[in-house]
Structure formats: structure tokens, C-alpha cells
């Protein structure tokens, strides 16, 4: 009896296994046939496009940039257009194609907006747009719940739409839609690159969910809430697992800062043994079998170029005794710490306010977006009054760009107190303007911006109130020669490191050229 039963179970599991294998095989065959069909019909689309652009021979290579919001005019778009302009300059045999969801815009209107917004000139002959109809699938509002998952699946659909319209020789995602890579790899069978501004999900985020789960459990909350947070943790772990599989599909990965590199590197090396073990079991193993893993173990930092042209023309000396802060009146900027540091400075060095012609002033320039900011602003003004420093502090609200520039041309010291700022464009601007920065010792200002140039200081870091006051005093009392040298170094460093040339060099080193030339989709 037992024998028959064992035989039965054994037989059944073989049948199931065989069925699973054949299902997998069928899916694989369908994918291959569909991909083959797409790629052969792409040859016609490709020649038509090149002919339309006026390229008589089919010798051009096509690099596709996946940037559904290419007309938004933000920092991510500056990166996109600077990269394309550089490629147009150095590689006239490459046609750049942008996959965009801006269906209401035209090629001409986008090109002229880029010119007006970023002062970047694009050659229309080497640029083409593939307009996508289904961008709504990646919009926040489409996915009020399970936003991460919804947008990721939406982006895969968008990638499919892209591949049916045109398969490039190299696909580069510049907006952070890593889930598109599976579709592009399977259907287009082309190499993939990524420029990551911000990881979709980070190991930090996972750790936070994990600790919240324990907190819930420990606090003895009703079991449903504990179950809920456990489910949430599983959701995040699965999501992370697939995100890692996606990123590793790329052949090269660039990131915009040290902060992002730290996160992306820990994602590229992330390993979840439990979830991985689950993916050894059919049918989940199918998901693993359909991904290719190419990525390097570490991402390359390619800093976005900053526009420092105007600031870098200001004269370095003489400067007024102005401590300048340029930051929106948001809570994380921590303006209160700036007031406290200034208060401590004149507590320790009353001479800075005694002499009226040599008086030090703190100027806080920043935007106030709405009622919350306005309320914070009036609280800050009250704090200044309470500290008795209000005669030496000036708030400049909603200043125009020329006004900001004029403060940058006059100030001595640039102050920033935000903790863990990812980057800190305001500090790059201080330095380019020749204003010596004093910033919190964390994030971008610590790792990327205020770093030695030729082994010498370009500014100061501080953590505590006393360190801030001390650094401010140091800058204000620098000997003239040393002061001039430091202003010069700060400018030289900021202008060089965050220049377009440096950006171009980073792209060169990413190896995109080899991948674009080595691919075989057009042959
Ligand atoms: C990188 O991108 C993130 C997200 O858009 C942004 O907050 C950060 O400032 C960027 N860093 C640089 C160096 O531009
Ligand atoms: C600053 O601009 C915001 C938004 O444009 C506006 O609501 C606010 O009233 C302005 N504040 C001042 C002081 O000008
Ligand atoms: C002001 O804007 C911030 C950021 O968008 C938001 O968090 C805050 O709730 C807004 N406050 C008001 C009163 O609208
Ligand atoms: C990048 O590579 C191209 C092609 O080899 C070259 O012309 C260009 O000068 C390089 N740019 C930089 C900044 O190294």
C-alpha cells in the first residue's frame, strides 16, 4: 500500500515537473519568436527613421534614452540634455533617441525649450523622439496604493511600447525605471545602461520597515497590525529582490553622487538568501531564469554639470563681512542652527559687532513656498529677536535670481547647516562665486563638494554649534593672502569638478561607446 502511494506521489511530482518545464519552454519559445519578429520588423523602422533624418547610409548607431518626462526642465533633464549634446559633439555617427511621454509637445518645441531653459543647443539631425502613449501608467496618481509595484509594472508596459516603436543599439535609462531592463533585454536583446539619480528602494528603507515591524511586535499591538507589518516587510523584500535583479541586468551603471553610489553599491551587492531560496522553486524559478546578470559590482560616479558661468566671473576680493545662507525656508535646512551659530560667534567674539564699519552680518536668502514656510520664517525672526541678534540678521525672502547672484558676489562666508544633504548645489554655487563655505559635516558637502584641492582646503565642515562658530571665525580672520588663495581654490575646484567636461569624461569612462558599437541589433 505504502509502496503504491510513494509511487503515486513520485509519478505525480514528475508529471508536475515535466509540465512546469514544458510551460517554461513554451513561454521561452513565445518570447523568442516575438522578439525575433520585433527585431526583424525593426530593421525597416530603423532605416525609415535614418532616412527621415537625412542619413543616406545605414551606418549610424542609435542610442535610446528612456526619459518619459524629458520636457520637465528639472535637474534630471539637464543631465539628459547635456549627455546628448556631448554625444552629438563627439560622436556624429550616433543618433540619440529619446523615449518620451510628452505627447503634447513636438520635437521642435522640446528643442527650443531646452535651449531656453538650459542654454543647451541640440542638433535636430542627430536627435529623434519616440512618443509613448501609456505614460499615465507610471504616474503617481494612477497607483494610490502599492505605488512602487504599480509604477514598476507600468514602466515595463511602457518599455514594451518603446520596443514595438523602435529598438535602439543601446538603451540607457536616465530616470530610474530599472524594471524596464527585463523587457528591453528580452525583446530587444540589446545592452543596457543606467544613470541613477535616486534608487527606487534602498537598503535603508528596508531596514526601517524591518525595525518598525519589530517595534510593532514588541509593543504587543493587536496581531492584525503585526501581521500587516510582516506582510509589508515581505512586500518590500520581494520588491528589493526584483529591483536588484533589474539593476544587475544593466551593463554599466552611473550615479550622480557619493550618496547615491553608496546606496546603489549596496543594492548591487544585496543578497536575500531566504527570498533567493524561494526562487529555486517552480514556478518562481522561471522569473530568475528569464533575467540576465551583467552589472559591475560598483557604480561609477558621474557628477551632473552645474551651471557656474555667471558666479565664476565675480571678483574674489575684496568681500564684505557677510555670512550668507541660500536655502528655502524648509524645516530640514535648519535655519535655527544658523542663527544659533551666529549668536555663538558674536558671544565669543563681540568685536564682530562692536565696530560699526566692520560689522559682520548674517544674510538668510531663501524662498518661502507656502503658509508652513511663512510660519517658520516668522518663528525664525522671533528667535533672532530673542537672541538679540536681529540688528545683524537680514531675511531676504523670495529673492530673484539676480538678487541671489548679487549677494553671492559680495559675501565672505557661505553657511549651510542641513544634515545629510544628498548633494548641495547651493554650496557649489558659493564656491564658484568665491564664497568660502562652512557646511555640516555630512552627505554631499562632506563627501563630494568641500574636499581638498591639490591637497589644500576649499572650505570648512562643522557639526556642533561651537564648531560652526569656530569655523566662521576662522574664515573671517584669515590673513589676506591665505583668504585669496582659499577663495581661488574653492572656485577652481567647484568649476572644474562640476563642469561639462568632467561630466563628458565620466560618460566616456562608463564604456557606453563600446556597448553602442558592439551591439548587433542592426545586423
Ligand atoms: C542626484 O539626484 C537626486 C534625486 O533627484 C538629487 O536629490 C540630488 O541632488 C542629485 N545629486 C546631484 C549631485 O545632482
Ligand atoms: C513668496 O512666494 C510665495 C509663493 O510664490 C508666496 O505665497 C509668498 O507670499 C511669498 N512671500 C513673500 C514674503 O514675498
Ligand atoms: C507647504 O509645502 C510643503 C512641501 O510641499 C508641505 O509639506 C506642507 O504641508 C505645505 N503647507 C501648507 C500649509 O500648505
Ligand atoms: C570623450 O571621448 C571622445 C571620443 O573619444 C573624445 O573626442 C572626447 O574628447 C572625450 N572627452 C573627454 C572630456 O575626455
pLDDT at 362 over 90: yes
CA distances from 456 to 12, 173, 429, 443, 469 (A): 73, 37, 19, 20, 21
> What is the Cα–Cα distance from 473 to 360, expressed in whole angstroms?
11
> What is the Cα–Cα distance from 252 to 518, expressed in whole angstroms?
14
By alpha-carbon position, which residue is closest to atom 3 of ligand 2?
Answer: 369
Please state, rounded to an integer, the average pLDDT across all residues of the chain.
Answer: 91
Q: What is the pTM of this model?
A: 0.85
C-alpha 372 to ligand 3 mean position (Å): 6
> What is the Cα–Cα distance from 321 to 410, expressed in whole angstroms?
8
| DSSP per-residue string spanning 205-268 | HHHHHHHHHHHHHHTT--HHHHHHHHHHHHHHHHHHHHHHHHHTT-SEEEESSHHHHHHHHHHH
> What is the Cα–Cα distance from 143 to 236, expressed in whole angstroms?
16
Backbone angles phi, psi at 24, to 5 degrees: -60, -45
1 pLDDT band, cuts 50/70/90, is low
CATH of span 308-498: 3.40.50.2000
Nearest-10 Cα torsion for 462, 466, 471, 476: 150
389-420 pLDDT, tens digit each: 999 999 999 999 899 999 999 999 999 999 99
Cβ of 508 less than 6 Å from ligand 4: yes
DSSP-based three-state secondary structure for 170: strand
Name the residue of 365, 374, 400 to mutate for ligand 2: max ligand atoms within 8 A of Cβ: 374
413-471 pLDDT, tens digit each: 999 999 999 899 999 999 999 999 999 999 999 999 999 999 999 999 999 999 999 99
Beta bridge partners of 252: 193
Name the residue of 369, 373, 375 to mutate for ligand 3: max ligand atoms within 8 A of Cβ: 369
Lowest mean pLDDT among 9-13, 148-152, 403-407, 510-514: 9-13
By alpha-carbon position, which residue is closest to atom 9 of ligand 3?
Answer: 372
For 127, the enclosing helix (H) or strand (E) is strand 127-131
Same fold, 55-305+505-518 and 308-498: yes
The pLDDT of residue 227 is 79
By alpha-carbon position, which residue is closest to atom 13 of ligand 2?
Answer: 397
35-93 pLDDT, tens digit each: 999 999 999 999 999 999 999 767 799 999 999 999 998 889 999 999 999 999 999 99
C-alpha 197 to ligand 1 mean position (Å): 6
> What is the Cα–Cα distance from 81 to 60, expressed in whole angstroms?
20
By alpha-carbon position, which residue is closest to atom 9 of ligand 1?
Answer: 423
Domain ranges of the chain: 55-305+505-518, 308-498
The pLDDT of residue 521 is 46
55-305+505-518 topology per CATH: Rossmann fold (3.40.50)
By alpha-carbon position, which residue is closest to atom 9 of ligand 4?
Answer: 90
> What is the Cα–Cα distance from 158 to 101, expressed in whole angstroms?
9
C-alpha 265 to ligand 4 mean position (Å): 27
Helices 500-510 & 75-90 angle (0-180, nearest 10): 70
The pLDDT of residue 107 is 97
DSSP-based three-state secondary structure for 399: coil
Amino acid at each position: 500500500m505504502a509502496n503504491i502511494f510513494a509511487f503515486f506521489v513520485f509519478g505525480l511530482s514528475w508529471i508536475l515537473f515535466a509540465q512546469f518545464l514544458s510551460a517554461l519552454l513554451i513561454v521561452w519559445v513565445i518570447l523568442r519568436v516575438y522578439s525575433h519578429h520585433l527585431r526583424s520588423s525593426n530593421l525597416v523602422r530603423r532605416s525609415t527613421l535614418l532616412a527621415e533624418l537625412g542619413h543616406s547610409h545605414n551606418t549610424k548607431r542609435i542610442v535610446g534614452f528612456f526619459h518619459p518626462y524629458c520636457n520637465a526642465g528639472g535637474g534630471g533633464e539637464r543631465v539628459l540634455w547635456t549627455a546628448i549634446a556631448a554625444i552629438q559633439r563627439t560622436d556624429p555617427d550616433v543618433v540619440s533617441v529619446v523615449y518620451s511621454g510628452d505627447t503634447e509637445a513636438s520635437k521642435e518645441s522640446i528643442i527650443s525649450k531646452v535651449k531656453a531653459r538650459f542654454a543647451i543647443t541640440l542638433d535636430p539631425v542627430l536627435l529623434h523622439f519616440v512618443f509613448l502613449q501609456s505614460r499615465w501608467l507610471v504616474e503617481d496618481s494612477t497607483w494610490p496604493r502599492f505605488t512602487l509595484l504599480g509604477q514598476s509594472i507600468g514602466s515595463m508596459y511602457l518599455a514594451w511600447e518603446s520596443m514595438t516603436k523602435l529598438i535602439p543599439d543601446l538603451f540607457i535609462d536616465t530616470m530610474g525605471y530599472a524594471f524596464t531592463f527585463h523587457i528591453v533585454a528580452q525583446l530587444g536583446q540589446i545592452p543596457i545602461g543606467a544613470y541613477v539619480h535616486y534608487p527606487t528602494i534602498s537598503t535603508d528603507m528596508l531596514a526601517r520597515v524591518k525595525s518598525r515591524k519589530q517595534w510593532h511586535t514588541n509593543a504587543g499591538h493587536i496581531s492584525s497590525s503585526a501581521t500587516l507589518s510582516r506582510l509589508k516587510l515581505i512586500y518590500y523584500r520581494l520588491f528589493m529582490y526584483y529591483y536588484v535583479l533589474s539593476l544587475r541586468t544593466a551593463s554599466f551603471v552611473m550615479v550622480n553622487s557619493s550618496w547615491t553610489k553608496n546606496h546603489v553599491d549596496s543594492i548591487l551587492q544585496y543578497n536575500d538568501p531566504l527570498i533567493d531560496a524561494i526562487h529555486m522553486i517552480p514556478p518562481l524559478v522561471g522569473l530568475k531564469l528569464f533575467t540576465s546578470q551583467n552589472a559591475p559590482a560598483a557604480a561609477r560616479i558621474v557628477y551632473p554639470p552645474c551651471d557656474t558661468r555667471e558666479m565664476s566671473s565675480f571678483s574674489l576680493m575684496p568681500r564684505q563681512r557677510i555670512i550668507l545662507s541660500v536655502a528655502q525656508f524648509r524645516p530640514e535646512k535648519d535655519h535655527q542652527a544658523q542663527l544659533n551659530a551666529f549668536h555663538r560667534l558674536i558671544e565669543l567674539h563681540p568685536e564682530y559687532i562692536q565696530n560699526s564699519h566692520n560689522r559682520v552680518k548674517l544674510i538668510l536668502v531663501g524662498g518661502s513656498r507656502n503658509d508652513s514656510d511663512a510660519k517658520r520664517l516668522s518663528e525664525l525672526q522671533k528667535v533672532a529677536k530673542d537672541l538679540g541678534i536681529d540688528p545683524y540678521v537680514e531675511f531676504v525672502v523670495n529673492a530673484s535670481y539676480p538678487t541671489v547672484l548679487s549677494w553671492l558676489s559680495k559675501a565672505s562666508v557661505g553657511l549651510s547647516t542641513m544634515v545629510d544633504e544628498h548633494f548641495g548645489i547651493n554650496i557649489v554655487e558659493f564656491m564658484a562665486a568665491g564664497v568660502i563655505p562652512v557646511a555640516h559635516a555630512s552627505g554631499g558637502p562632506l563627501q563630494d563638494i568641500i574636499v581638498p584641492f591639490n591637497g589644500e582646503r576649499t572650505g570648512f565642515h562643522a557639526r556642533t554649534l561651537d564648531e560652526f562658530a569656530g569655523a566662521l571665525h576662522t574664515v573671517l580672520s584669515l590673513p589676506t593672502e591665505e583668504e585669496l588663495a582659499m577663495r581661488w581654490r574653492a572656485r577652481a575646484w567647484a568649476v572644474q569638478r562640476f563642469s561639462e567636461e568632467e561630466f563628458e569624461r565620466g560618460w566616456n569612462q562608463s564604456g557606453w561607446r563600446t556597448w553602442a558599437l558592439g551591439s548587433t541589433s542592426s545586423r
